Structures are given as C-alpha cells and as structure tokens.
Amino acid sequence: MNKIILTILLILIFNTSIQAQKEQKWTSIINDKESTWFASAEAKEVAKNVLLYQRNIGGWPKNIQMQNPLTATEKQNLIALKTDLNEITTDNGATCQEMLFLSKMYAQVPDERYKNAFLSGLDYLLKAQYENGGWPQFYPLKKGYYSHITYNDDSMVHILNVLKEIAEKTDYYSIKPSEATIEKSKIAFNKGIDCILKTQYKQNEVLTAWCAQHDEITMLPAKARAYELPSLSGKESAKIVLLLMSIKNPSPEIVAAVNSAFVWFEKTKITDLREERVPVPNSKIIEKVMVKDPSAEPLWARFMELSDNTPFFCDRDGIKKATLAEIGQERRTGYAWYTNEPKEVLKKYPNWKKNSESETIISLKKSEVTLKDEFNIVVDQNGNGDFKTIQEAVNAAKSYPSQRITIFIKNGTYYEKVKVHAWNTCISFIGESREKTIITYDDYFNKINLGRNSTFHTYTVLVEGNDFIAKNLTIQNSSGEVGQAVALNVNANRVVFSNCTFLGNQDTLYTSGEGTKNYFKDCYIEGTTDFIFGDATALFENCTIHSKSDSYITAASTPKDTSYGYVFKNCKLTADKKVTKAYLGRPWRPYAKTVYINCEMGKHILPEGWHNWSKREAETSSFYAEYKCTGEGFQPKTRVSWSHQLKDSEAKKYTIEKILDSDSTKATKQWYLKFN
C-alpha cells in the first residue's frame, strides 16, 4: 500500500513540475533558473526539444516555448523540418537565447550535442550578416521588410553581444570556438559596430539616434509593418547605445555616437506623462491611457519624426496621429508606444564619459605622434616620415576634416591591408611614383573563408570615405590565380584615381555603392575574369584595360533606373598573347549598363562582344553599347543583336558632366577636377 501511495505522490510531483514548467516563460527558464538546474533530468528533457527545434542551417524559429512537452508526432514533424529554410530568425531573441541555454547546459553536462548545436548557431549568425555589417530579421532572407537591417526588439544588439563575448574570449559562454571562428567573430563584431555608426541618423547634419530598421542597401530609416514607419526610435536606440558604451577603448567615432545619442535622449524625454491601465467595464479589455503628471518618471516615444523628433502613433492604416488616443483600441493596447529604456543610458552615461575620456588620454599617450602638419602626412617604411605604414596614417587622420588631408607615400612595397573608413573623408593618397609605390596584400576567397560573401573581404585597399583621391601608385592583390581576390574595393562617392595601376586576376576592381560615382583617369587595370565589377557609376578615361585570360572584362550590377553604369572613353583594350576570346562584359545583375566610346579594341575581343551570363531576360533589361571604337576587336556588324551601336545624338549624352555630375550639389559640382 505504501508503494502505491509513493508512486502516486511521485506522479503528482512530476505533473506539478511539468505544469509549472509550462506556465513559466521560455526566457525565464533560460535566465532565472539556478545553474544547478541545468544538470537536472527536467533540463535534459527541455534540451532535447531545443535540439529538435534547431534547423540544419544552425538557427531557430521564434516564439517557441521550448520547455513544453512534445508528442511523438510533433517530434517527427520537427525532424522533418530540419532541412527547411523558412522562418529562421534572430527576432524576439530567437537563436541567441537558445545558444545561451545550450551553453548553460554544457557547463553542467558536457554533452557534445550541446556544443555542436551552439557552434552551429554561431556559424548561422556569422553567415547571416550582410557585407555592410548589418543583419536581416530572417535568414535565409524572407521577402518584405524582414530583409531590412533589423534593430527592432534589439535583434542586432543580441547578436553583437554574443559575438562580443566570443571575440573577447570571456567565460560568459562555456563553449569555446576555434581560433578561426573567434577571429571571424571579431571581424563580424567590428563590421556590425561600423554598420551602427553608419546608420546613426543625421538630423540637420547632427547625429541623433536610430530607426528600428534601416534599408539594407541605402542604410536609411525604413518602414516595417503598416504602423512602423521610418522614424527615430526611443526604444531600440537605447540598447544600441548601451552596447557602444560597453566597448573598451572606444574609437573617436564611437565616442561621438554615444555623446550625440545622449544629447538626443535628453532632448526628447517626456517628463509629464504617465501610462495607466484601466479596466473597461463589462469586458476583459484593459485600456491604456496616458495621464498628465508633472512628477512622472521620464518616458520616450517609440516613434519620432525624422525631421524634428515629434512623437507620432499609427493604426494599421499607416496614417500618423498626434496622440495615442487617436488610434484604435486594438493597436493602442497591443503595442508598446512609449518606453523608459533610455533611462539606463542616462544613468550610466556620466561614468562612461569619465572613463572614456580617461581611456582616450591613456591611448593618446601610448601612441602619441606629433605631426608637423596634420593636413600633410608622410608615410615612409624606412622610418623617415610620420608613419611607417599607410594604415597608421589613416588611423591618425582627423575624422570629417575641415580641409583635405594629403598622405604622401614614399616609394616602397607596403604589404598591408588598408581601409579608409567612412569618417576618413577628403583624404588623398599621393604616391612618390606609380611604379615603385606599391600597396599589396594576398587575401582571396578561400583564404578568408567567411562564407558566400568572402569575395568582399579580400581587398588590399578598401575606400569608404567620400571625396577620396589617389595618384601615382599601384594597388595589387598578389594571391595569384586562386579565384576571387579583390585589389581595390571602392564603396564611397566622388572618388578619383589618377595615374594608378591595379594588378590582380579575378575581381581585381570592385566599385560598389548604389548611387556612388567614381572616376578613373590614365590608369592601368588588369585581370582575368570579371576584373571590373560592381554597381557604382564609373567613368574610365584614357585607361588601359588588360585581359590576362580568355574570359570577361566587366560584370556590372547597375541598379535599375540608374542612368549610367560603366563608361569607358578613349581607353585601350589589350591582352596577353595567349588571350584570344575575351568578352567586353556580362551582366552580374539584370540592369547592367556598360558603354565603350572611342576605345581601341585588340583582336582578343570576340566578334559577338557581349555575353548574357545565361540570363535571357538580361538581354532586354541590360544596356550594352559601343560608339566609334577602333581596332581588330571592334566588329559592330557581328555583335550580339541585343547590344547597341550608339548614334551621334545618343553619344552626346556621355559627357563627364552628365555622367558624374547628374546629382551633385552646388558645393560638389565638378568634384572630379579637384585632383589636378
């Protein structure tokens, strides 16, 4: 009899435990349970569910109460979904929170399944990152606003906090990745911070805060759901700033971002409103009412106008309203329109400011360099200049300077990977001589090994600062014929290269950035396949374009409705002796535009001239043309039928002013003449 009673008691205890587990939220289980609980049988059962819900790509779906028991049928369904690529996300804490759970499990029960699942999740986060440093809400990408860079509900901040712990090799996670993965995490974290700095919104040229989501191409504030319009976010911006404040030895750009955001939070706080929840008689509805209260704790609006920070509210019709009371009850009570999260920024800011200023002083003392002229910096690898490396000179240059900074580079072979950051505007690289001032590095796709976008990390020189000029130097990717390997990546506007040489093989020159304009004059560019590629508008004038193998010269990805893509004027197309079958170009993207005007074409250019990259639709959407070219390779009568030979009236549109000045402001007109 005693055995029967004991059995009943055990069943009751077990059922009570399961019921309590059901009632407790998944996030509470991860964050609130004592560490010893993760060694329990109960935790192991939950861990089985977590492993089942993880997809083969490494991520998890969202809003799953992982602790809830699964039936046999549900388990089989989850196994069948392992290869499914839909609805995998970092939204609402998904993936990052499951990784934390697995780490806590592994600390108590070193089961390799937990470790492997955690590392797979980390790989997923790294794969999902955009080249610009941001993350979409869903990966693989889901159509709609889900592809925007997503700060909403702190999604990207959660990811960056994971990467920060990994990169800094802290003990926060019990599972330790390989050194290679740690290095990838460092790169991804830095790119993410760079994305945050680039997306901080400028209001009348003053840095403010962030939108909940930013367009993944333009990086501007973007719309999500009908009631989530482009705006400045009082909520999401808070966690972004707290992340920036957590970075040790912050750069001047991070310090400026935090200081600006703090000022904005102070400016936009609401000090006379309090939210009340009022039951509606004879219903289950709890109404949300904003009450005037001079003694209320500060609040911030979730959405504020980009132009003047005025709070606004929207119903599902997307029409802005001035007050919360003006929208329907369903959205009024079913969404967080106000937040107090920035109060943590205001609380921590004084100490952060004091510490950051101290760290800046210490950093300056450690690397103090007295420049004779901060607008004229000399680089000499032999030690007879201000710096021995080009990157040191760039790092020491003033951000957003009041006048052009010239970095004079003495003759020598500089084996380094150089990045001109977005804040390094108005910088000039002037080499002592084109032949003997050489910047070289040897990264390539498989060496970088950062997934499908590895190409974009292989650059020797990356230019992100607008109004950049380079003269009299050589930029080389010396990795050899090993696949994609970029020598120069230009992702900036109003950039000039004059009397320069670009050496490489596949993907030598990448001109990126929708709407950006580049000018290459008197340059030599060589390569094998697609060695001039990208989406920028670029004019190549009096350049030599040299093919090293039978392949394709250009692979433009011109955006739709862009007037000009690649324009080659008075250029000379040459080739190695072995080369006999080269195409003028093929469309990387469907609206590619490439035009050759008054160019001398060697006999290596194929009679058909152009290739459609097996994209029949590109034959009608792309624009490939020539005008009054010469040489054995210019055979207009045998060109593919979907290419064009320009008429005189059409060719008149291809002036330097129309190509490069079409959207210039008064201050930037004829920017391409400033290199002289």
pLDDT, tens only, 370-392: 566 788 999 999 888 999 999 99
Q: Strand 593-597 and strand 623-627: pairing?
A: parallel
Q: How far apart are CA 490 and CA 492, in angstroms?
A: 6
Q: Are 570 and 541 in contact (CB under 8 A)?
A: yes
Match 């004592």 to its residue by tokens. 34
Match 């580079």 to its residue by tokens. 409
Q: How far apart are CA 492 and CA 425, in angstroms?
A: 9
Helix (H) or strand (E) holding 12, with range, is: helix 2-23
Q: Which amino acid is at 672?
A: Y
Strands (DSSP E) found in 513-556: 517-521, 524-527, 532-534, 537-541, 544-547, 552-556
User: Which pLDDT value is given to residue 363?
Assistant: 47
Cis status, amide bond into 607, omega within 30 of 0: no
- Average pLDDT for 195-203: 95
Identify the band that residue 5 occupies on the pLDDT scale cut at 50, 70 and 90.
very low
Match 């007050």 to its residue by tokens. 323
To the query of whether residue 467 is one of the catalytic residues in this protein, the response is no
Proportion of the chain above pLDDT 70, given as a percent: 94
- Average pLDDT for 354-367: 58
**Catalytic residue among 215, 507, 522, 576, which?**
507
CATH class name, domain 21-199: mainly alpha
Average pLDDT of the chain, as a whole number? 92
pLDDT in tens, 492-549: 999 999 999 999 999 999 999 888 999 999 999 999 999 999 999 999 999 999 999 9
Q: Are 629 and 572 in contact (CB under 8 A)?
A: no
pLDDT in tens, 118-177: 999 999 999 999 988 999 999 999 999 999 999 999 999 999 999 999 999 999 999 999
Q: How far apart are CA 676 and CA 139, in angstroms?
A: 47
Identify the band that residue 14 occupies on the pLDDT scale cut at 50, 70 and 90.
very low
Q: Are 88 and 56 in contact (CB under 8 A)?
A: no
> 106-115, 133-142, 271-280: lowest mean pLDDT where?
271-280
Query: Which token pair is 552?
Result: 């394709």
CATH class name, domain 201-368: mainly alpha
User: Which pLDDT value is given to residue 1?
Assistant: 42
In the predicted structure, residue 185 carries a pLDDT above the cut 60:
yes
Match 């205890």 to its residue by tokens. 13
Q: What is the pTM of this model?
A: 0.57
Do 21-199 and 201-368 fold alike per CATH? yes
To the query of whether residue 84 is one of the catalytic residues in this protein, the response is no
User: Which pLDDT value is given to residue 675?
Assistant: 66
Q: Domain-by-domain residue ranges, the chain?
A: 21-199, 201-368, 559-666
Q: Are 56 and 83 in contact (CB under 8 A)?
A: yes
**Catalytic residue among 91, 386, 443, 530, which?**
530
